Amino acid sequence: MRGALARVATAVTAMVALSFVVPLGLLTGQMAHDRALTSAERQAASLVPVLTVTDDPDQLAAAIGSIPAGAAGRLALHLPAGEAIGSPHAPPGELAEARRLSRTFTAEAPGGTVLLRPVLMDAERPAVIEVYVPEAELTQGVAKSWTILALVAMALVLVSVAMADRLAIRVVRAADRLAQAVTRVAGGDLSARISPDGPAELRGAGEAFNHMADRLARLLAAEREAGADLSHRLRTPLTALRVNLDGLAEHPGDPARLVQSQDALGRLEEAVDDIIAAARRPDRETAGCDAAAVVRERLEFWSALAEDQERPWNLTAPAGPVPVPVAAPELAAVIDALLGNVFRHTPHGAAFQVTLHRGGSSTGLLLGDAGPGIADPRAALRRGTSGAGSTGLGLDIARRLAESTGGSLRVGTSLLGGAQIEVWLRTAPRPAARRTVRRTARRARGKWRLRPR
């Protein structure tokens, strides 16, 4: 790219330089030619007053010798009788033409140009003043001017090529860095970033690349988390199936256990189908649901397992619907994850209670148990961290669902003596602070007072 830019700069600058140098060189040659002829005409004019005073050949010869052109042997006077005084150079035919036309003009002569100026000395034939201008004088200084112009043009080309090369270095370096970063991302290195540099277009491309790489990394991380979350949903039906199979192994002939195991296997199949459908959806559902109905439906599922493990449980929920801005499958997955933690990390017979609280701007799902509790709540909220041998995803799933609505997740101690998990889902915007409300009211009153009547 540097070579291409240098060639382009050379071609463009050379064209521009030629468009100025050639006319200036031609103008310089024309000016030198005109300057030499003007000088010759001025010296011819200096002899005219002498012709009006005398026609004596000796005096005329002395006058011609006093003129620089005459002293240099380049001035001659052709008298009407045909006699020539000085150093003639003009062809005879041009002299006859000058006498016939009776006006000043130039003519070609060997080695240069002659200026012929007729002067009337009698009524019959005019005298002709001849000034010879050699070719060297006609082109005096032209070669030097052309040389200077050529050097200036060459300097302009070199400067433009140097500037184009410096610009090309910036462009090529910025483009190379961008290409290397793109190659690294294409090879799987999502940490590749660049510092935008170079022209504005390449800086914009670099910023767009960084934004694309950040978004790609976030999307990939979100897909991985979504895959782990969807897989985590299998733990609930697997837990129920394992408990029923354990009971069936203890009582092989119990038809109720067999029916429960078949039901658990059917729910496992439904969960797998739901995971496949959720994985194929381009985006997660954003529609709301009735939290009370979802909580009751999931507790009905878990109640059979609680009865097998002789766990007392209690549900406190409003009688009417409790709308929340999350999809029913997402809320069901959170409830299953939290209840699964209770059954997995507390001993058989440990009680639990579920409370659904509907507030003015948020809805809380509170789940407490009578187990040993959580020793380090902060560590338990880190994704993939568990002190009891599980995946460590349950609380993170609940936390991310709460934060997606603007809510939060809290870990504390329940009234039963064990852990209490509080999932708060934001259902309305946060109310403005009292100071802000008062300030807004004062501004409104001020505008009302200033309003013209």
Tell me the C-alpha distance between 371 and 365, whole Å.
19
Q: Are 233 and 334 in contact (CB under 8 A)?
A: no
At 450 the pLDDT is 40
Averaged pLDDT for residues 208-220: 83
Per-domain boundaries in the chain: 1-45+141-212, 286-453
Right CATH for 286-453 from 3.30.565.10, 3.40.50.1110, 3.40.1190.20, 1.10.1370.20? 3.30.565.10
Place of tokens 């009292």: 434
Q: Is a pLDDT exceeding 80 seen at residue 112? A: yes
pLDDT digits 0-9 by tens, 272-300: 666 666 555 555 445 689 999 999 998 98
Could you give the percent of the chain with pLDDT greater than 90? 13
pLDDT digits 0-9 by tens, 119-143: 887 656 788 888 999 988 888 888 8
Tell me the C-alpha distance between 342 and 418, whole Å.
10
pLDDT digits 0-9 by tens, 89-104: 888 888 888 888 888 8
Tell me the C-alpha distance between 96 and 191, whole Å.
96
At 367 the pLDDT is 94
pTM of the model: 0.44
Q: Which tops the pLDDT comparison, 99 or 380? A: 99
At 184 the pLDDT is 85
Q: Which tops the pLDDT comparison, 180 or 81? A: 180
At 426 the pLDDT is 92
Q: Is a pLDDT exceeding 70 seen at residue 249? A: no
CA atoms within 13 A on the CB side of 213: 21
Residue type, 178: L
Q: Which residues contact 387 (CB under 8 A, 6 or more apart)?
A: 375, 376, 379, 380
- For 184, phi then psi, to 5°, come to -65, -40
